[in-house]
Structure 1
Amino acid sequence: MDLEKFQKESQSEFPSNTKLKAKLRKVKPKELDQRFSEQHEKAFEEIDCLDCANCCKTTSPIFIQTDIDRLAKVFRMKSSNFIEEYLHRDEEGDFVLNSSPCPFLNKDNKCLVYDERPKACREYPHTNRKNMHGILNLSLRNTLVCPAVFKIFSEIGKEYRK
């Protein structure tokens, strides 16, 4: 995966994707969910997260308390010690990682805590779920992080940019 090329392309298409997002707001919710789900499946037939891991390299998931408790157990730590070592609260008050890349990302792009990873990591990039209307802003931001989301927007855009 050429992340440098992806970054340039996703940045240059961001204004166009922002306009697309406005058009997508007018699409019926069930239809929008269907389009995203279809394109999600197609994108992940071609894209392997292990070739990329850009999400793990550049952003932090939100850690909810059950994630913190589960991961603290993995490392045989108290939850408070896990927070102290790995997390801080962001502007919205959510727990996020202290640094990027993720400290649990191995050199081969595999996750050290994959089976116990946070809920936000399990669900990322959130493009195959219900109520896509509710997360269009997040999905637009993710076009700058995830090549699959960028591809999904590009494909959906072929239909709705007309």
Structure 2
Amino acid sequence: MSVITENWQQQSAANKKKYKNWLQRVQRNKVLKQLPALHEEAFAQIDCLNCAACCKNYSPRFKTPDIKRISKHLKLKESVFIDTYLRLDEEGDYVVKQTPCAFLGEGNACSIYDVRPSDCARFPYTDEDVLLKRMNITLKNAEFCPAVFYVLEKLSNC
């Protein structure tokens, strides 16, 4: 039976302390070997187009290569792209000016999917060491991303 249920968000909130304790004492190398398979398993059951909470509520960082690539794709000067879509956040990173993301289209599809920022392409980091290295990000992501919840549930119940 799948750990994904209708109330996964409530379960994630209730299990936050369990996840934090697990992340603090995890055997990194053992878990890193499991992540790719668990990532695939999670996304075999979860369709991001049914959710898009990441695009609706948060912003990726737009790094210089992302800005160059997306500007070229949109046929905009980099400065125009930045002025139109981005702002600097508290950490000095470029992020979207608005939520939901201006590139979130009909049916929760990304209108720049093929050239999306690297943060978007890598999200939710369930197949890489970021899941273990950046505990606060992982715990936050588990609150709004069912794939992170799925992977944490599977790993923390082993």
Task: Give me the TM-score of the superposition, normalised by structure 2.
Answer: 0.87
Change (3 A) 1:37 1:73: same
User: Following TM superposition, by how much is the alpha carbon of 1:62 offset from its aligned partner in structure 2, in angstroms?
Assistant: 0.6
Query: What code does the residue aligned with 1:138 have?
Result: I
| Corresponding residue for residue 30 of structure 1 | 29
Q: Report whether the alignment pairs 1:86 with 2:71.
A: no
**Bigger mean CA deviation after superposition, 128-137 or 10-19:** 10-19
In the alignment, which residue of structure 2 is the partner of 1:136?
A: 135
Q: Which residue identity is paired with 2:92?
A: G
CA contact (8 A) 1:89 1:96 kept: yes
Superposed displacement of residue 152, structure 1:
1.5
Tell me which moved more, 65-74 or 126-135.
126-135
CA distance in 2, matches of 1:98, 1:143: 24
Give 3-state SS (helix, strand or coil) of 1:144's partner.
helix
Question: Could you tell me how far apart the structure 1 residues matched to 2:75 and 2:26 are?
Answer: 48
Deviation at 1:12, TM superposition (A): 5.4
Report the more deviating stretch, 92-101 or 24-33: 24-33
The match for 2:145 is 146
TM-score, normalization by structure 1:
0.85
Quote how far apart the aligned CAs of 1:20 are.
2.0
Whole-angstrom distance in 2 between the partners of 1:144 and 1:127: 14
Matched, 1:71 2:70: yes
Query: 2: CA distance between counterparts of 1:18 and 1:89?
Result: 32
- Count of residues in Structure 1 that have an aligned counterpart in Structure 2: 153
- Residues 18 and 140, structure 1, Cα contact 8 Å, conserved in 2: no
RMSD: 1.8
**Partner secondary structure for residue 31 of structure 2:** helix
Match of 2:38 in 1: 39
Partners of 1:12 and 1:21 in 2: CA distance: 14
Aligned amino acid, residue 117 of structure 2? P
Unmatched 5+ residue regions in structure 2? 1-5
Identity of aligned residues (%): 38
Aligned to 2:155: 156
Instruction: Give distance in 2, aligned partners of 1:81 and 1:93.
Output: 19
Unaligned 5+ runs, structure 1: none
Distance 1:122 1:64 in 2: 13
- 1:33–1:131 contact (8 Å) kept in structure 2: no
Give the match for residue 113 of structure 2: 114
- Whether contact under 8 Å (1:33, 1:132) holds in the other structure is no
* TM superposition shift of 1:24: 2.3
The CA deviation at 1:23 is: 2.2
Deviation of 1:118 after TM superposition, in Å, equals 0.4
